[in-house]
């Protein structure tokens, strides 16, 4: 049986002892306080699974206290405690923000049932909120990628293809399912910083001037600035996007990281990105054959590319079909939805 933390608020010592004894018998961890001020201090510093709140408290009244608790802990279920059963007390507590109410004197079976119901309700609310956060997260990713592709038509489907190939390399290297999800997510977003690069540079047919190349080298840092506010819980993904252009020999950008200093996801994405760049049309040249890309990556192992990542990629050669302009595809075998973090706290 799971242990749940419960905050019990009542000004009567006997009631608090009764609550503590009854709920401890059910296996819960109970913290009891005698007034609303102390309760709010506890809630500001600690998380609780359920709050039991007397409606007849001195100082901050029960209804006002419930409203304050709801402001601090909007998803925590609250069970109001009232000294008499009436429609008025129930309505008053529900309007204040309580999820349920129990009448005194408290009965073990009734209290246990109401606490269990409150916990179940909390789980349903968290599950629904998790789905909503996940949906918003995925919509944000789609929007970022769509914005980039609208600006640079030469990279249409590039992010999707790099994400799919990065996933295959990670699988070949025996990454866990969660690690593969994070690699795919970083790969899907690896070029998002190009939103901040002028189109005249992105679409230039000839060689870039030193000043233009310097601007291009800014896109990983722009990507980091775009992603950090919305991906605070995924710093490894943001770091992978920032460092995707670091070379294994330390001659890359933006930080000139070397070898194992470079996030492994960045090292994987660099190989996948190189393959797709070579085998796709660009403003300055037509797409080249897969064999050219394989040769470039094989020769660059140990200098531009991580040799272990390059070796894993080269092992995929027999199973890779030659494609020049594939139709839009999902970014990974299990679809875009799998790119969201396993826990919905990703956007928190």
Q: Which strands make up the sheet holding 100-103, listed edge to edge?
A: 29-33, 5-9, 50-54, 78-82, 100-103
Question: DSSP code of 337?
Answer: G
* Region of 273 on the Ramachandran plot (φ > 0 left; ψ -120 to 50 alpha; else beta): alpha
Instruction: Give the CA-trace dihedral at 135, 137, 142, 148, to 10 degrees.
Output: 170
Distance of alpha carbon 348 from alpha carbon 100, whole angstroms: 28
Residues in Cβ contact with 201 at an 8 Å cutoff, skipping those fewer than 6 apart:
208, 212, 215, 216
User: Residue 337 phi/psi, 5° resolution?
Assistant: -60, -30
Bridge pairing between strands 50-54 and 5-9: parallel
Q: Of these residues, 151, 156, 161, 194, which one is catalytic?
A: 194
Q: In the Cβ-directed half-sphere of 108, how many Cα atoms lie within 13 Å?
A: 6
User: How much is the CA Rg of the chain, to the nearest whole Å?
Assistant: 28
Is 194 considered catalytic here? yes
Which residues form the catalytic set? 194
């Amino acid at each position: 049986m799971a242990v749940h933390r419960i905050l019990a608020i009542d000004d009567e010592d006997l009631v608090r002892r009764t609550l503590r004894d009854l709920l401890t018998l059910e296996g819960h961890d109970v913290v009891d306080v005698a007034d609303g001020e102390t309760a709010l201090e506890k809630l500001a510093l600690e998380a609780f699974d359920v709050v039991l709140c007397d409606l007849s408290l001195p100082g901050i009244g029960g209804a006002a206290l419930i409203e304050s608790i709801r402001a601090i802990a909007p998803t925590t279920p609250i069970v109001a405690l009232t000294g008499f059963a009436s429609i008025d007390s129930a309505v008053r507590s529900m309007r204040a923000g309580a999820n349920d109410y129990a009448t005194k004197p408290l009965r073990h079976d009734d209290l246990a049932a109401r606490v269990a119901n409150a916990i179940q309700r909390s789980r349903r609310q968290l599950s629904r909120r998790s789905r909503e956060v996940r949906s918003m997260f995925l919509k944000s990713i789609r929007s970022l990628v769509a914005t980039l592709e609208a600006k640079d038509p030469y990279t249409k489907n590039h992010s999707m293809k790099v994400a799919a190939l990065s996933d295959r390399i990670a699988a070949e290297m025996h990454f866990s399912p969660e690690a593969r999800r994070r690699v795919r997510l970083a790969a899907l977003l690896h070029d998002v910083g190009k939103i901040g690069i002028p189109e005249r540079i992105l679409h230039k047919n000839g060689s870039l001037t030193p000043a233009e190349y310097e601007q291009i080298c800014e896109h990983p840092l722009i990507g980091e600035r775009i992603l950090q506010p919305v991906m605070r819980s995924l710093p490894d993904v943001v770091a992978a996007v920032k460092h995707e252009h670091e070379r294994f020999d330390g001659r890359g950008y933006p930080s000139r990281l070397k070898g194992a200093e470079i996030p492994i996801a960045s090292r994987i994405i660099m190989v996948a990105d190189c393959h797709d760049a070579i085998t796709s049309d660009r403003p300055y040249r037509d797409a080249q054959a897969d064999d050219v890309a394989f040769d470039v990556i094989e020769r660059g192992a140990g200098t531009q590319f991580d040799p272990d990542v390059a070796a894993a990629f080269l092992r995929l050669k027999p199973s890779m079909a030659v494609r020049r302009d594939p139709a839009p595809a999902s970014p990974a075998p299990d679809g875009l939805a799998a790119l969201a973090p396993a826990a919905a706290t990703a956007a928190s």
